[in-house]
Structure 1
Amino acid sequence: MALSARLELRQGQGLVITPQLQQAIKLLQLSNIELDAFVEDELERNPLLQRDERDAEPDPETPQAEISDNATDRIADVEASADMDVSHDESSPGERATGDTPDAPAAEAGGAIDWSKAGRGGGFDGDPDALESALTRHKTLADHLHDQLVVAGLTPAECAAASLLIDAVDEGGYLRCDLAETAERLGCDDAFLARVLTVLQGFEPVGVCARDVRECLMLQLKERDRCDPAMEALLDNLPLLARRDMAALKRVCGVDDEDLKDMVAELRGLTPRPGAAFGAEPSHVVVPDVYVREGLGGLWHVELNSDTLPRLLVDQRYHARVSAVARSDQEKTFVSDCMAQANWLVKSLDQRARTILKVSSEIVRQQDAFLAFGVEHLRPLNLKTVADAIGMHESTVSRVTSNKYIATPRGVLEMKFFFTSAIQATEGGEAHSAESVRHKIRHLIDAERGETDVQSDDAIVDILKEAGVDIARRTVAKYREAMRIPSSVERRRMLKEAV
């Protein structure tokens, strides 16, 4: 067969992910905080973008002429920047360093700055909120330990080793490093590092720098002078205490029921995480993206939270003025690109808001029974059901519901909350939501008041099947363990001890 070259014309369809489309997809999955940060970056990068502040009332003391002059000042700045770019190309590096204008500010005059009067970094002169932030900053556990290390009276070598050990303490107050490896790395013997650790374990809070739970509780008991042989035996058998095997604990500790009860009560008064009180992350208020309110006739009104939606405008007049003074092709291309990016960003933000409203409205329509009657009426729902109803792809719905919150009469909930798997009903009835089944299991266990009322997993399965829920015992056990609920044997022991 002879080989030859030829030209063919073919027509086909394909999806090209342009940078603008990638940006629009990225905007969908951003939370309101991340979106605000993204918009701030775009406002700094693109001079043709500005915030829409038309709802804000103008300052009556500011004359209208001064307001209109702001745009002229911005245009003059851009023209000056263009002139500087041209002059930079024509001048030498030495000329650019010294500056030719006598009115140049000190910040641009390089060697004219008197650095001897410069303050230390992190001062409060430029930021009025910096002082308040510094005073209200939570002291971390490491800061607290380092403050005590300064007055511990250790040698420089011991301070260096102690500082390294403090850096290995986690947020709970536990030492997360191997002493043998650390001693080898520091070039010291194990006894030296053990002495340093003993000093650190005497710091506040009591129990800090322990290597496990037993040592943490032991340090706290020694501080209270309550570390006797019976208590040491109890600490050596914490797994028996977790299983509430009181008979075995009495045998290994050599005490009676009353003494064991007092020992367990004293153990419960200790702190298994002594460092948890330091440097806790401040709680952030969740700002909902969508509000759901009940209207007349049982209808639900869905509206976007306008406070979380950035409102941007493209400054057309500023674009016209800058385009008129653009000289080179590079300047014209820059202005054209800024205009295209600004228009696309405004369009993408509007499309994002419409998509969020459409998806949330369909979620509310699907879960109206939950909003009206509670979690027991939560229906099973998946992404495909919502996507088919609104004519979108599942991936789009997944991005929209990521990191978004809805304020409902039942509380502020994440959109992902409304998507739960289905559990089949008996006799071919309507399927049940997994979240509603978990709620029923918790309700049955919370209703237990005595040893005879404790329901085993098999008993819970029978009760749920009578209620029309077809569920397996292992599923009940999985849901119970996910909710951190002990088994029926442990719950029976707890109720017996309470009596």
Structure 2
Amino acid sequence: MSLAPRLDLRHSQQLVMTPQLRQAIKLLQSSNQDVTAFVEEELERNPMLERDERVEPGPDAGRSTDPLLAAPESPDAAQAASSDALPAENAAPLDVEWDNVYDAGTPHTGSGGRSDFEDDLSGVEAMAAPAPNLREHLGEQVRLTFATPRDRVIAANLLALVDPAGRLAVPDAVIAAALGCAEEAVTAVRRRMQRFDPVGMFCADLRECLMVQLQERNRYDPAMAALLDNLELLAKRDLRTLQRLCGVDAEDMAEMVAELRRLDPKPGASFDAPAAPTLVPDVLMRRGPADGWIVELNPETMPRVLLNRGFHARAVVGAKSKDEKAWVAEKFQTASWLVKSLEQRANTILKVSAEIVRRQDGFFRHGISGLRPLILRNVAEEVGMHESTVSRVTSNKAIATPRGTFELKYFFTTAIAGAAGGEAVSAEAVRHRIKAMVGAEDAEDILSDDAIVARLRAEGVDIARRTVAKYRDALRIPSSVQRKREKAVPA
């Protein structure tokens, strides 16, 4: 055995995660807001990039080139292009002075957007002012309600301690000790502040919050007090026990429960609630010819950048030192890679979306009952990509369809075997069917989990009872016992 040094030459392949490749992968799985923010930063950082401000050629600029999803060419444009028709006789001549032409039938607007060309700022009053937040709203009521400095100091401390939901967890005795005043004074101020708008603020718990709102409506009586003392039974839908404790019949109990449902358990939560974020789709879908579908990119969410070749040429000529030339080359390479990555991202999103639309055609035509089982591997094999790439493409992406806007991940569902070897069914469609069954059940015929299993198997779905229970819990549907209690008394 020789121990002498030796030189060998070997060939091997390995994937090197360069910064550019990491950037492309990150862009692929990022949402349109994140990509737009990243591109804006690059536009400020890299002078080799410029914003593409060219006007879109039309609403179908980003349309899929798939022959099954493509739209026909509009005959009107071709007809207008080849038309030799001259303008009508009553049309204005080409050398007309437009400054002296006035069309009485066309409304005109001035600089302020008014038809009378007035430039005053009278429209400012019509603009909506920003709504005050919860503490500002309550603080204004404090200034109008309390006149003495002591009460205002106590009210200011209560206002500082209240949580966003409207609860005041600190006892009156603790607040009084911190302020050096009598506990009765703090209680009196808090009682008055509980009637502020919104009613029910500054309460210690849910029972007191509901009690204050009922007192404000003049609906608080001994029966309602007993109901508030047993809210845990109401949560269990044990209405028969509540009837006995409150001393009322079924009709009165139904009215009392309905009255509670009209109250706000967290009066402060809805005041400063932020507006629901709008889901901006990355892909648009609409009906096409021959009963097909047209899939196109949303131009509003696709960032458009170009290489500033003019600046690059001037920078190359003006570069004097080696470092300057290296800086220009680096910035140009980074800009080229970003433009290429954005283009590849757009094409990949469009290709994957078109394949999802093709496979879930039944959903778009018949609703959720037509949703088919679909996994990442099915789409990846069809479009010639890896499963991880399809997963990144469908993350944080949405598509606007005739049935609403959905995330692309929504269309990937597991399969549930069909009964007697039948066709597999989507788990999402089964959940929808369970929800429909429970919603249509009669008060005298509450479906148990076994009954739901029997009905689904009769419809060709081979499903276990524990799966039905899991889907029911995910849909937040109570058990059959709880539903029977709830529907025993119509509330």
Would you tell me which structure has more helix in proportion to its own residues?
Answer: 1
CA contact (8 A) 1:405 1:414 kept: yes
CA contact (8 A) 2:250 2:489 kept: no
Q: Deviations over 1:460-491 (max 9, x none)?
A: 11010011111122222222232233333444
Give the whole-Å Cα distance in 2 for the aligned partners of 1:190 and 1:27.
62
Which one is further off, 177-186 or 480-489? 177-186
Aligned-partner residue type, residue 475 of structure 1? T
Give the whole-Å Cα distance in 2 for the aligned partners of 1:230 and 1:38.
61
Aligned-partner residue type, residue 254 of structure 1? G
- Aligned to 2:268, the other structure's residue is in SS state helix
Q: Are residues 1:400 and 2:398 paired?
A: no
| Residue of structure 2 in register with 1:107 after alignment | none
Shift of 1:19: 1.2
Shift of 1:400: 0.9
Of 364, 376, 391, 1:371 maps to 364
- Aligned to 1:232, the other structure's residue is in SS state helix
Give the whole-Å Cα distance in 1 for the aligned partners of 2:156 and 2:200.
22
Aligned-partner residue type, residue 139 of structure 2? H
Shift of 1:350: 0.3
| Residue of structure 1 in register with 2:417 after alignment | 424
The two structures have a TM-score, normalised by structure 2, of: 0.76
Q: Are residues 1:322 and 2:315 paired?
A: yes
Of 293, 296, 308, 1:300 maps to 293
- Aligned to 1:281, the other structure's residue is in SS state coil
Aligned-residue CA RMSD (Å): 3.4
Give the whole-Å Cα distance in 2 for the aligned partners of 1:345 and 1:158.
59
Q: Are residues 1:213 and 2:209 paired?
A: no
- Aligned to 1:308, the other structure's residue is in SS state coil
Shift of 1:211: 3.5
Q: Deviations over 1:61-98 (max 9, x none)?
A: xxxxxxxxxxxxxxxxxxxxxxxxxxxxxxxxxxxxxx
Q: 1:476 to 1:158 in 2, by over 3 A?
A: same
Which one is further off, 265-274 or 178-187? 178-187
| Residue of structure 2 in register with 1:162 after alignment | 158
Instruction: Map 1:450-469 to 2 at 5 A.
Output: 450-469=442-461
| Residue of structure 1 in register with 2:44 after alignment | 44
Shift of 1:338: 1.6
Which one is further off, 413-422 or 185-194? 185-194
Q: 1:11 to 1:235 in 2, by over 3 A?
A: same
Higher relative contact order (CA 8 A, sep 6+): 2
Which one is further off, 309-318 or 193-202? 193-202
Aligned-partner residue type, residue 407 of structure 1? A
CA contact (8 A) 1:161 1:196 kept: no
CA contact (8 A) 1:48 1:338 kept: yes
| Residue of structure 2 in register with 1:83 after alignment | none
- Aligned to 2:326, the other structure's residue is in SS state helix
Shift of 1:163: 4.1
Give the whole-Å Cα distance in 2 for the aligned partners of 1:477 and 1:133.
54
Give the whole-Å Cα distance in 2 for the aligned partners of 1:420 and 1:56.
36
The two structures have a TM-score, normalised by structure 1, of: 0.75
Q: 1:32 to 1:271 in 2, by over 3 A?
A: same
Q: Are residues 1:279 and 2:276 paired?
A: no
Shift of 1:323: 2.5
Q: 1:136 to 1:3 in 2, by over 3 A?
A: farther
Aligned-partner residue type, residue 137 of structure 1? P
CA contact (8 A) 1:319 1:339 kept: yes
Shift of 1:7: 6.1
Q: 1:410 to 1:11 in 2, by over 3 A?
A: same
Q: 1:472 to 1:196 in 2, by over 3 A?
A: farther
Instruction: Map 1:69-108 to 2 at 5 A.
Output: none
Q: Are residues 1:26 and 2:8 paired?
A: no
Give the whole-Å Cα distance in 1 for the aligned partners of 2:354 and 2:221.
64
CA contact (8 A) 1:406 1:414 kept: yes
- Aligned to 2:300, the other structure's residue is in SS state helix
CA contact (8 A) 2:155 2:190 kept: no
Q: 1:483 to 1:328 in 2, by over 3 A?
A: same
Q: Are residues 1:310 and 2:303 paired?
A: yes
Aligned-partner residue type, residue 361 of structure 2? D
Shift of 1:251: 2.3
- Aligned to 2:201, the other structure's residue is in SS state coil
- Aligned to 1:319, the other structure's residue is in SS state helix
Of 201, 223, 230, 1:230 maps to 223
Shift of 1:493: 4.4
Q: 1:477 to 1:157 in 2, by over 3 A?
A: same
Instruction: Map 1:144-223 to 2 at 5 A.
Output: 144-151=137-144, 152-153=146-147, 155=150, 158=154, 161-166=157-162, 169-170=163-164, 172-175=165-168, 179=171, 191=183, 197-198=190-191, 200-223=193-216
Of 421, 440, 465, 1:473 maps to 465
Gaps of 5+ in 2: 58-120
Give the whole-Å Cα distance in 1 for the aligned partners of 2:44 and 2:176.
51
Which one is further off, 475-484 or 233-242? 475-484
Q: 1:52 to 1:425 in 2, by over 3 A?
A: same
| Residue of structure 2 in register with 1:53 after alignment | 53
Sequence identity percentage: 53
Give the whole-Å Cα distance in 2 for the aligned partners of 1:186 and 1:473.
58
Q: Are residues 1:13 and 2:5 paired?
A: no
Give the whole-Å Cα distance in 2 for the aligned partners of 1:256 and 1:190.
45
Shift of 1:194: 6.0
Q: Deviations over 1:35-69 (max 9, x none)?
A: 22221111111112112223279xxxxxxxxxxxx
Give the whole-Å Cα distance in 2 for the aligned partners of 1:399 and 1:54.
29
Q: Deviations over 1:180-228 (max 9, x none)?
A: 9986996879948766654543432111133432121012123234433
Aligned-partner residue type, residue 476 of structure 2? R
Give the whole-Å Cα distance in 1 for the aligned partners of 2:369 and 2:443.
27
Q: Deviations over 1:378-416 (max 9, x none)?
A: 111112222232222222211111121112222221101
Aligned-partner residue type, residue 25 of structure 2? I
Q: Are residues 1:254 and 2:247 paired?
A: yes
